[in-house]
Amino acid sequence: MSDVLEKLLAVEKDAAALVVQAEAEAARRRAAAQARAGERAAEAVKTEAVRAAERITAARQALGAEREQRSREHGLSLAARPRDTKALARVIEEFVDKVL
């Protein structure tokens, strides 16, 4: 009977060792899966950062074009205003007379 008990004890030890190995393998696989998930998340963040940079660049270009258009329109509106060169000459003469 003790021979059977010894064999049973040996089988239990082997089973316990296999459980430890299985748990270690499961932990390794979980860690690998978490690492892959972290890499995917990091890649998604990088992709979103690139897209955000592209959107910012496009917005800056649109604002620059809008600013140039407003500047041209303002310049045209100033050029279209009537000029009273005689009144301007009088104001300049008065200013020079005061300063000098």
The predicted-structure confidence for 30-53, as pLDDT tens digits, reads as follows 999 999 999 999 999 999 999 999
pLDDT of amino acid 56? 98
Rg (CA), the chain: 42
Q: Report residue 57 as tokens.
A: 């660049």
d(CA 48, CA 36): 18
CA distance 89 to 92: 5
Query: pLDDT value at position 84?
Result: 86
Long-range contact list for 78-81, CB < 8 A, 24+ apart?
none
Could you tell me the pTM of the whole model?
A: 0.55
Residues of the chain where predicted confidence (pLDDT) is lower than 70: none
pLDDT the model gives residue 27: 97
* Tokens standing for residue 88: 């301007």
CB neighbour burial string for 48-84, b if at least 16 within 10 angstroms, e if fewer: eeeeeeeeeeeeeeeeeeeeeeeeeeeeeeeeeeeee
Q: Report the share of the chain in percent with pLDDT over 90.
A: 75
